Amino acid sequence: MSTVTALDSEQLALDVGELLIVGFDGYELSPGVREALQAKQIAGTILFSRNIQSVEQVAALNEATYEAAGNDRTPFICVDQEGGRVQRMRDPFVRMPPMALVGQAGDLDLAAKIGEDIASELTTVGFNLDFAPCADVFTNPENTVIGDRAFGTDPETVGRFAGAVMLGLNMGGVVPCAKHFPGHGDTLLDSHEALPTVDQPLERLQQVELRPFELLIRGQVPMIMTAHVMVPAVDAQWPATLSPQWLTRVLRQQMKYGGVIISDDLEMRAVADRWSIEELTERALHAGVDMFLICQSEAKWRACHATLMALGQRSERERELIAMAAGRVRALRRDWLRRTGSEQPRTLLGSPEVQGRVDRVRELAGARA
């Protein structure tokens, strides 16, 4: 009996180690993150401007992440590189246009090339997952958190152009992640600071907010990020990240999505001001989240890991949820994820050809405005 228990515990630890993406401070891999990668306690990392000093430094940092994870498991090395105002890697990277202009330009082939260009530059410094494209429909003109990050104001445009950029990112060697399910485009508040509400009836949600995600699921989007938003028409009690009504009933069962569901950052105030990291972890697992994104605090991601281990040891049902989530992450790694990087990254950046495509987007968008 004890041997079986030891084997079960070992497998649980391996499964839990598939479920965390974490951030850290500084220009080098933190000792805690390095140790966790080596011990297979986390699945990968996310970088922000606080981690970015130069092209060479980022390439070295991401290479250190690959080395810490070992040759037998490729880590997820993530970034928010949407274009426009959400572009962590800047000069000498080409400054990509806001996705609103890509939608306005009206050329799906060009949109796919822009996605491929974003990915090709990211892979030179070792990234392999981009938290893009946004599938939010920009329906509230006062919504500053989304604004020109959205491809447009109607769901068909958003779905088609997000799909084109998704395809391009994949062609360029980077895993795409559609966000923010079930839609952040009709909100007023910024979920980094507060808990927004999308107060629309179900019929409107299906026609507008959910339509781009429906199109992306048909296109086999491999990962979807949740939104920390309240949508009372479906769940008046829990924000979408913590809602089994949204993630299990709507996204899994009704929309037939079989890929990985990742939470938005669990340190954002929309949720962190209301629940502890332990409560968030348990609630998100029960809701249907596969991967837990914790962007800064080592204490919090370690608490998330410990909570998942405790839940897996507490009941067969929770152990099964963890195993299923880990299975989806492993399938994503097997089918989509690759090790990237270049020994001479700077020479591959800022190509005139890529800049020409960006200029063409602006020209077409201006002509159609």
Instruction: For residue 192, indicate whether it is catalytic.
Output: yes
Environment class of 237 (CB within 10 Å of its CB; exposed 0-12, middle 13-18, buried 19+):
exposed
pLDDT of residue 5: 67
Note whether 64 and 44 are within 8 A (CB): no
Angle among Cα 83, 89, 91 to the nearest 5 degrees reads 100
DSSP string, 24-90: -SSSS--HHHHHHHHTT---EEE--GGG-S-HHHHHHHHHHHHHHH-TTSPPEEEE-EEETTEESS-
Catalytic residue among 130, 148, 186, 264: 264
Confidence of residue 4 (pLDDT cuts 50, 70, 90): very low
Place of tokens 């974490």: 22
169, 181, 264 from 85: Cα distances, Å? 18, 20, 18
Please tell me which residue in 8, 25, 192, 335 is annotated as part of the active site: 192
| Number of neighbouring beta carbons within 10 Å of residue 190 | 16
Mean pLDDT, range 54-59, rounded to an integer: 96
- Per-residue burial over 136-174, b if 16 or more Cβ lie within 10 Å, else e, is bbbbbeebebbbbbbbbbebebbbbbbbbbbbbbbebbb
In whole angstroms, give the CA distance from residue 79 to residue 132: 9
Q: What is the DSSP string of 305-332?
A: HHHHHHHHHH-HHHHHHHHHHHHHHHHH
Report the C-alpha gap between 194 and 185 in whole angstroms.
15
Type of residue numbered 225: M
CA–CA separation, 83 vs 71, rounded Å? 32
**Coil, strand or helix: which one is 294?**
strand
Question: Which single residue is written with the structure tokens 């099964």?
Answer: 320
Amino acid at 87: Q
Contacts (Cβ under 8 Å, ≥6 apart) of 356? none
Question: What sections of the chain are H helices per DSSP?
Answer: 2-16, 31-38, 55-69, 99-105, 108-124, 155-171, 202-204, 211-218, 244, 269-272, 277-287, 298-314, 316-335, 352-368
Rounded to whole angstroms, the Cα distance separating 159 from 216 reads: 7
**Statement: residue 294 has pLDDT above 60:** yes
**CA–CA dist 308, 317 (Å, integer):** 13
pLDDT exceeds 80 at position 6: no
| 117 classed as catalytic | no
In 10 A of CB 360, how many CB atoms? 16
Q: Which pair of structure tokens corresponds to residue 232?
A: 């009372």
pLDDT given at position 320? 97
Which residues sit opposite 181 in a β-bridge?
226
pLDDT at residue number 80? 97
CA dist 169 → 91, 147, 176, 285, 336 (Å): 20, 22, 6, 28, 11
Question: Average model confidence (pLDDT) for the chain?
Answer: 95
Per-residue pLDDT tens over the stretch 222-271: 999 999 999 999 999 999 999 999 999 999 999 999 999 999 999 999 99
DSSP 20: E
Q: What domains appear along the chain, each with residue ranges and CATH number?
A: 2-358 (3.20.20.300)
**Is the pLDDT at 364 greater than 90, yes or no?**
yes
Supply the pLDDT for residue 187: 85
Using one digit for the tens of pLDDT, what is the confidence trace for 193-209?
Answer: 889 999 999 999 999 99
